């Protein structure tokens, strides 16, 4: 019968446990909770307002104004003092709704607080909430920190946030009594946002973890002759994380000689690779029994392979945390500042001298935002001095500042966050050697969503210092919530590249400042958060993989950063090799067997542009020739620092010289983890080289910007003429201002197009102009000079120049007609296909020399209409290809249409537009600042012509001065120029599909001034007559 009774009792106990009923909760504010908030501290307006469409009908409307930057979080708050008695460990659930009416960023903030009315003002809860413009439900479970008599404590909403209006309604505060799990309270919004398995932040965090917390591992298996071994079996077994996962260690418990002490020490070794002294090195403790604890702890850490050790803390500047004699100094009237400073300085020297060589980090300053007793006497600037002294005492370690409520409190303790940031800014501005920023992370039920955690980490990462979670725990009466938040918070932090360590503030209930926050119970049984910690650190973030080498003898994987044993098995024989993976960007290589020799060739380090030897310069691209390296798996090291790799081929590699090298540098090429012997190179301020065409040895890679950006490496390159703007590229100029010479001819003054700037790492673009006196040879040596150092010459083709083929400078006598040997006329009216109004004549009323070197084409208004002139070279001169230019001062006015253009000489045979038309310059007078260049041909004529306008800056008019209008015409291009600058180019590629390029035969020239027409419109009352176009010259040149 006994065997049956015991199972029955167990079943009965389970049934009873499942059916436990909790007493009805009691409200802690009698009556209407909102009506109790009658006292308002600070500058806020608090009113009751009516609410519609919600489960409640009334709300508090709270409005704040300007808030001082040094305000305390509690300075502004509505408060309720009519409260019922409550007992320590009672479980309380608070529910309220909140929305922002107006707030910065449309985010309203408040902190719900329960605190004792008198000293020490014990707080059972401080819960910071944020809400947007829609009503948001907030639920706050907590456990009473102490027993309170009726009316001995108060509730308040802290609203010390500038310029916001919020409303709070639906408030209920219920006491459920002791022992009630949070999970039984029926809460719907607690514990925290983004807890769901598919929350978007998780995928992003996983991607960052893969990127920042893993490194590439490459194993190369060779035999004793250096031959690679395919199929070798590889097993990579992780032994220890590189990232610091740590805990605070209690100095008394670790020394215990009983089972508890042994369990405690074993847990440290099993769970953590980093530690922090919890109390032993704090100032008062260190000067009492802390040194004895540290005498045991620090050697024990070293003996057990724990390399990362934090000291905590040098200065905690509140009187409460200072030795008794220092507290007495602070109470003296007046305070002897010199004596106080000397006492502090001695302590810094003592404690840091004691730990020198035994710790790797120190919290130099702890909680300075709220603890200010020392600063009140010595000034805030004294904080920087503490860091300077710490650096002097131990130059080799990282120095941290540390504070709380940065990531906690829902992530919205804005005063504390801003205040901490300002302290850090001030320290850095004062030159304090702050290496790291500590973020304590003691959480209660006010759990910060992971995306807000990451947002805050991003903010603090802008300081450019290491970040570390220094004192993590989660103290809530729900073990599953505790585990879930541990998982999510740890994941978010581990994913952030600025986080360099994650410290728990204890792990065992028997040695934890908040036993509920531990992950191992007092009886050494484990809680769910223990399982989370182990699963993340030793399963999800742990690497244990197997594989076999490929045909080239290599095996590759990506593993978490840390220490490994690599087992290599060949023909049944296994050898184990240690390997440390410490970089997420540079692979780590393990070579087994004999490694082939690697070497840099004699004089094998050259400028990557000119391929000339000599000194190298910071920022220069160098190319290195040799043997035994490349392709792939290659680095170029300059005094051990990897330069940015450009490419790696077999026996040839190119990289950028790091900016920090000076004097001389040792250059090595590393291939698959094995480096060449070093080659010493002299480092100069500048060692310029000009990039050359890969298909034309010795020819500079030049872009002729004045000829349509043609490139010297290509067959269609147009050699630049005098004043032409060219672009070329250099490396090794060292960031120094340089100049260019062409056949020893340099510009007499700066070119209007001068430019020098980096366009790619190691590559600088140079824009300059060709000097007038530069040689006109097919291979002119071009040299770039930077810092007085000349590059090796690279050639540029400057040979070809334009030769004048035909011209008219219009030097005839005043009143005479154009030269009949050069020009003839189009006569008559009829609209000319454009609804024009003028009649063209050949009289000197409409076209004549002015005697001052100009031809005048004159549009005149007559009684019956308008007359003008249109002259042409048809039958007298035509040209195929070349430069066609005219210097012209055009008229302006509504309905006036001056033009300089060309028609195909075969127009009488094929007609228009099959003959082709090139409009070098057209203007419609109502647009005095704009000219047009256009081509017309079959299928792209009239309104479908292919062209582009050019407009002067606001206020300019072409009629105000002469301008040179021209084209440069080649078999496959018509480029349009204004005053020597190209503004448009037409090539066959621009034509509509299937249309013909009709610009490969002779064309003749035309000058005219039309009146009216479909494009310019007709003259109106604003148009004055006569109108005239002055032509200074017309030139036609060919190469």
pLDDT digits (tens, 9 = 90+) for 653-669: 999 999 999 999 999 99
Q: What is the DSSP letter of 287?
A: I
Main-chain dihedrals φ then ψ at residue 130, nearest 5 degrees: -130, 140
Mean pLDDT of 226-249: 97
The answer on pLDDT for 752 being more than 80 is no
Domains 214-240+545-592 and 603-682 share a fold: yes
- For tokens 């307002």, name the residue: 49
Bridge partners (DSSP) listed for residue 592:
221
CB 360 within 8 A of CB 401: no
Question: What stretch of H or E contains 1029?
Answer: strand 1027-1038
Nearest CA to 140 out of 77, 104, 92 is that of: 92
| 851 token code pair | 């005697």
Residue 134's pLDDT band (cuts 50, 70, 90): very high
Per cent of the chain over pLDDT 90 is: 88
Residue-wise DSSP of 778-809:
TTEEEEEEETTEEPPPEEE------EEEEEE-
CB 847 within 8 A of CB 855: yes
CATH architecture of 603-682: Sandwich (2.60)
In sequence order, the 6+-apart residues with CB closer than 8 A to the CB of 963 are 887, 888, 889, 978, 979
The conformational region for residue 17 under phi > 0 = left, psi -120 to 50 = alpha, else beta, is alpha
Mean pLDDT of 754-775: 86
The answer on pLDDT for 394 being more than 50 is yes
Mean pLDDT of 587-605: 93
Higher pLDDT, 70 or 443: 443
Main-chain dihedrals φ then ψ at residue 563, nearest 5 degrees: -95, 140
The answer on pLDDT for 70 being more than 90 is no
How do the domains of the chain map onto residue ranges?
Answer: 26-184, 214-240+545-592, 243-540, 603-682, 689-799, 804-1038
Q: Is the dihedral of CA 851, 854, 855, 856 positive or negative?
A: negative
Residue 989's pLDDT band (cuts 50, 70, 90): very high
Q: What is the DSSP letter of 25?
A: P
Residue 749's pLDDT band (cuts 50, 70, 90): low
For residue 18, the model assigns a pLDDT of 39
Mean pLDDT of 950-978: 94
For residue 1026, the model assigns a pLDDT of 96
- Alpha helices of 218-322 — where are they, by DSSP H? 259-271, 283-285, 291-303
Nearest CA to 966 out of 871, 872, 900, 891 is that of: 900
Q: Is the dihedral of CA 830, 832, 837, 839 positive or negative?
A: negative
In sequence order, the 6+-apart residues with CB closer than 8 A to the CB of 690 are 609, 610, 700, 701, 728, 729, 730, 782, 783, 784, 791, 792, 794
Fold of 804-1038: Jelly Rolls (2.60.120)
Instruction: Report how far residue 766's alpha carbon sits from residue 782's, in angstroms, rounded to the nearest whole number.
Output: 12
pTM: 0.71
Structural Rg of the chain based on CA atoms:
42
Diameter of the chain measured on Cα atoms: 143
Residue-wise DSSP of 534-575:
HHIIIIIT--EEEEE--TTSEEEEEEESEEEEEEEEETTEEE
In sequence order, the 6+-apart residues with CB closer than 8 A to the CB of 305 are 240
For residue 15, the model assigns a pLDDT of 31
Q: Are strands 308-315 and 361-366 parallel, antiparallel or unpaired?
A: parallel
Bridge partners (DSSP) listed for residue 955:
none
Residue 964's pLDDT band (cuts 50, 70, 90): very high
Q: Is the dihedral of CA 210, 438, 518, 179 positive or negative?
A: negative
CB 110 within 8 A of CB 157: yes
Instruction: Report how far residue 1027's alpha carbon sits from residue 1018's, in angstroms, rounded to the nearest whole number.
Output: 14
The answer on pLDDT for 11 being more than 60 is no
Instruction: Report how far residue 1027's alpha carbon sits from residue 924's, in angstroms, rounded to the nearest whole number.
Output: 13
The CA distances from residue 130 to 6, 23, 97, 103, in Å, are 53, 32, 11, 11
Residue-wise DSSP of 236-251:
EEEEEESSEEEEEE-T
Q: Is the dihedral of CA 433, 436, 440, 446 positive or negative?
A: positive
Q: What is the pLDDT of residues 341-383, one digit of tens each?
A: 999 999 999 999 999 999 999 999 999 999 999 999 999 999 9
Instruction: Report how far residue 679's alpha carbon sits from residue 718's, in angstroms, rounded to the nearest whole number.
Output: 43
Mean pLDDT of 63-78: 92
In sequence order, the 6+-apart residues with CB closer than 8 A to the CB of 186 are none
630 CA to centre of own chain: 32
| 118 token code pair | 């008198």
CB 295 within 8 A of CB 351: no
Q: Are strands 153-158 and 108-116 parallel, antiparallel or unpaired?
A: antiparallel
Q: What is the pLDDT of residues 853-899, one digit of tens each?
A: 999 999 999 988 999 999 999 999 999 999 999 999 999 999 999 99
Beta strands in 326-435 (DSSP E): 361-366, 398-403
| 463 token code pair | 């300081």
For residue 13, the model assigns a pLDDT of 34
For residue 10, the model assigns a pLDDT of 34
Mean pLDDT of 769-778: 84
The answer on pLDDT for 9 being more than 70 is no
The CA distances from residue 257 to 254, 290, 296, in Å, are 9, 18, 13
Work out the mean pLDDT of the chain and round it to a whole number.
Answer: 94
Question: What stretch of H or E contains 3?
Answer: helix 2-18
CATH architecture of 689-799: Sandwich (2.60)
| 167 token code pair | 């409303």
CB 766 within 8 A of CB 784: yes
Instruction: Report how far residue 410's alpha carbon sits from residue 418's, in angstroms, rounded to the nearest whole number.
Output: 15
Q: What is the pLDDT of residues 798-811, one digit of tens each?
A: 876 688 999 999 99
Instruction: Report how far residue 806's alpha carbon sits from residue 552's, in angstroms, rounded to the nearest whole number.
Output: 70
By annotation, the residues acting in catalysis are: 917, 922
For residue 4, the model assigns a pLDDT of 32
Mean pLDDT of 169-178: 96
Instruction: Report how far residue 926's alpha carbon sits from residue 460's, in angstroms, rounded to the nearest whole number.
Output: 60
Instruction: Decide: helix, strand or coil at residue 764.
Output: strand
| 886 token code pair | 């005219």
CB 290 within 8 A of CB 281: yes
The answer on pLDDT for 417 being more than 90 is yes
Question: What stretch of H or E contains 532?
Answer: helix 528-535
The answer on pLDDT for 6 being more than 50 is no
Lowest-confidence region among 11-15, 629-633, 761-765, 870-874: 11-15
Main-chain dihedrals φ then ψ at residue 261, nearest 5 degrees: -60, -40
First to last CA, the chain: 121
Nearest CA to 401 out of 390, 415, 413, 414 is that of: 390
Bridge partners (DSSP) listed for residue 803:
1038
Long-range pairs, 17-20, Cβ under 8 A, ≥24: none
Instruction: Report how far residue 641's alpha carbon sits from residue 639's, in angstroms, rounded to the nearest whole number.
Output: 6
Mean pLDDT of 1002-1014: 97
CATH architecture of 243-540: Alpha-Beta Barrel (3.20)
Bridge partners (DSSP) listed for residue 47:
61
The answer on pLDDT for 615 being more than 60 is yes
Instruction: Decide: helix, strand or coil at residue 868.
Output: strand
Mean pLDDT of 160-188: 94
Could you tell me what percentage of the chain is helix, strand and coil, using 3-state DSSP and rounding each to the nearest 5? Answer: 20, 40, 40
Q: What is the pLDDT of residues 911-951, one digit of tens each?
A: 999 999 999 999 999 999 999 999 999 999 999 999 999 99
CATH of 214-240+545-592, one of 3.40.50.150, 3.40.47.10, 2.60.40.1120, 1.10.10.60: 2.60.40.1120
For residue 773, the model assigns a pLDDT of 85
For residue 863, the model assigns a pLDDT of 85
Instruction: Report how far residue 878's alpha carbon sits from residue 915's, in angstroms, rounded to the nearest whole number.
Output: 13
Instruction: Report how far residue 410's alpha carbon sits from residue 751's, in angstroms, rounded to the nearest whole number.
Output: 60
Instruction: Report how far residue 846's alpha carbon sits from residue 856's, in angstroms, rounded to the nearest whole number.
Output: 8
CB 254 within 8 A of CB 262: no
**Total residue count of the chain as it appears in this document:** 1039
- What's 26-184's CATH class? mainly beta
């Amino acid at each position: 019968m006994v065997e049956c009774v015991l199972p029955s009792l167990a079943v009965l106990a389970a049934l009873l446990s499942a059916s436990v009923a909790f007493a009805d909760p009691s409200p802690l504010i009698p009556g209407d909770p909102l009506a109790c908030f009658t006292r308002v501290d600070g500058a806020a307006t608090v009113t009751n307002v009516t609410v519609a469409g919600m489960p409640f009908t009334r709300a508090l409307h709270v409005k704040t104004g300007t808030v001082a930057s040094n305000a305390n979080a509690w300075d502004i708050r509505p408060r309720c003092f009519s409260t019922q008695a409550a007992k320590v460990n009672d479980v309380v659930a608070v529910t309220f709704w909140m929305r922002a009416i107006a707030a910065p960023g449309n985010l309203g903030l408040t902190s719900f607080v329960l605190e004792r009315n008198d000293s020490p003002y014990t707080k059972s809860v401080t819960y910071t909430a944020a809400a947007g413009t829609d009503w948001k439900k907030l639920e706050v479970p907590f456990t009473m920190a102490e027993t309170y008599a009726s009316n001995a404590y108060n509730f308040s909403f802290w609203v010390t946030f500038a310029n916001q209006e919020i409303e709070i309604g639906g408030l209920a505060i219920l006491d459920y009594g002791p022992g009630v799990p949070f999970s039984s309270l029926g809460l719907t919004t607690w514990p925290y946002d983004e807890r769901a398995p598919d929350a978007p932040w998780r995928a992003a965090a996983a991607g960052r973890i893969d990127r920042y917390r893993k490194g590439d591992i490459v194993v190369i298996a060779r035999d004793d002759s250096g031959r690679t071994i395919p199929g070798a079996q590889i097993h990579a077994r992780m032994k220890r994380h590189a990232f610091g996962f740590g805990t605070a260690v209690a100095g008394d418990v670790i020394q215990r000689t009983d089972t508890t002490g042994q369990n405690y020490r074993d847990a440290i070794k099993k769970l953590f690779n980093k530690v922090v002294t919890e109390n032993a090195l704090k100032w008062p403790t260190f000067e009492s029994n802390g040194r004895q604890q540290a005498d045991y702890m620090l050697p024990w850490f070293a003996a057990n392979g724990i390399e990362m050790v934090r000291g905590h803390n040098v200065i905690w500047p509140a009187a409460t945390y200072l030795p008794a004699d220092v507290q007495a100094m602070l109470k003296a009237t007046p305070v002897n500042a010199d004596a106080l400073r000397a006492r502090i300085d001695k302590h810094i020297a003592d404690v840091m001298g004691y730990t020198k060589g035994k710790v790797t980090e120190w919290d130099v300053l702890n909680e300075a935002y709220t603890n200010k007793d020392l600063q009140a006497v010595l000034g805030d600037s004294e904080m920087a001095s503490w860091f300077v002294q710490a650096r002097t005492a131990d130059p080799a370690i990282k120095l941290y500042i540390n504070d709380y409520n940065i990531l906690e409190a829902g992530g919205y303790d804005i005063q504390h966050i801003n205040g901490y940031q300002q302290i850090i800014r001030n320290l850095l501005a004062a030159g304090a050697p702050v290496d790291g920023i500590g973020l304590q992370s003691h959480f209660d039920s006010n759990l910060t969503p992971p995306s807000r955690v990451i947002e805050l980490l991003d903010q603090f990462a802008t300081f450019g210092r290491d970040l570390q979670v220094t004192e993590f725990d989660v103290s809530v009466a729900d073990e599953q919530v505790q585990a879930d938040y541990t998982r999510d918070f740890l994941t978010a932090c581990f994913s952030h590249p600025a986080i360099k360590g994650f410290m728990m503030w204890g792990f065992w209930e028997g040695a934890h400042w908040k036993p509920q926050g531990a992950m191992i119970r007092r009886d050494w049984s484990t809680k769910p958060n223990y399982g989370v910690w182990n699963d993340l650190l030793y399963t999800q973030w742990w690497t244990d993989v197997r594989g076999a080498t490929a045909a080239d003898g290599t095996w590759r994987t990506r593993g978490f950063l840390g220490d490994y044993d690599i087992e290599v098995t060949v023909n049944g024989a296994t050898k184990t090799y240690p390997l440390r993976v410490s970089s997420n960007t540079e692979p780590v290589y393990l070579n087994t067997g004999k490694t082939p020799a690697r070497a840099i060739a004699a004089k094998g380090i050259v400028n990557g542009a000119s391929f000339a030897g000599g000194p190298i310069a910071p920022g220069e691209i160098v190319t290195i020739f040799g043997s035994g390296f490349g392709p792939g798996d290659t680095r170029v090291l300059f005094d051990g620092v990897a330069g940015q790799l450009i490419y790696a081929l077999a026996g040839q590699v190119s990289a950028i010289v790091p900016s920090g090298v000076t004097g001389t540098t040792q250059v090595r090429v590393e291939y698959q983890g094995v480096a060449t012997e070093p080659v010493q190179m002299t480092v100069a301020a500048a060692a310029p080289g000009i990039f050359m065409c890969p298909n034309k040895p010795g020819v500079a890679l030049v872009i002729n910007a004045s000829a349509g950006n043609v490139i010297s490496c290509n067959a269609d390159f147009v050699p630049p003429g005098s004043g032409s703007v060219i672009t070329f590229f250099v490396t090794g100029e060292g960031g120094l201002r340089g100049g260019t010479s062409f056949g020893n001819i340099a510009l007499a003054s700066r070119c209007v197009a001068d430019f020098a700037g980096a366009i790619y790492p190691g590559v600088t673009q140079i824009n300059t102009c060709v000097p007038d006196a530069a040689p006109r040879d097919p291979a002119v040596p071009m040299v770039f000079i930077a810092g007085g150092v000349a590059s090796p010459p690279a050639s540029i083709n400057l040979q070809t120049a334009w030769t004048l083929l035909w011209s008219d400078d219009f030097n005839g006598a005043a009143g005479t007609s154009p030269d009949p040997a050069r020009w003839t006329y189009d006569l008559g009216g009829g609209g000319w296909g454009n609804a024009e109004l003028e009649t063209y004549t050949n009289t000197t009323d409409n076209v004549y020399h002015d005697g001052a070197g100009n031809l005048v084409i004159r549009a005149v208004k007559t009684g019956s209409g308008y007359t003008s002139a249109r002259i042409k070279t048809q039958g007298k001169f035509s040209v195929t290809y070349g430069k066609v230019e005219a210097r012209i001062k055009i008229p302006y006015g509504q309905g006036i249409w001056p033009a300089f253009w060309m028609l195909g000489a075969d127009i009488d045979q094929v007609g228009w537009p099959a003959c082709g038309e090139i409009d070098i310059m057209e203007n419609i007078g109502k647009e005095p600042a704009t000219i047009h260049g256009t081509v017309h041909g079959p299928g792209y004529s009239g309104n479908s012509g292919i062209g582009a306008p050019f407009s002067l800056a606001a206020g300019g008019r072409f009629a105000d001065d002469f301008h040179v209008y021209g084209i440069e015409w080649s078999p496959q291009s018509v480029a349009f120029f204004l005053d020597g600058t190209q503004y448009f180019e037409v090539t066959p590629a621009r034509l509509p599909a299937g249309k013909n390029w009709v610009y490969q035969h002779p064309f003749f020239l035309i000058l005219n001034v039309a009146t009216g027409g479909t494009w310019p419109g007709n003259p109106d009352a604003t148009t004055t007559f006569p109108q005239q176009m002055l032509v200074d010259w017309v030139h036609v040149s060919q190469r």
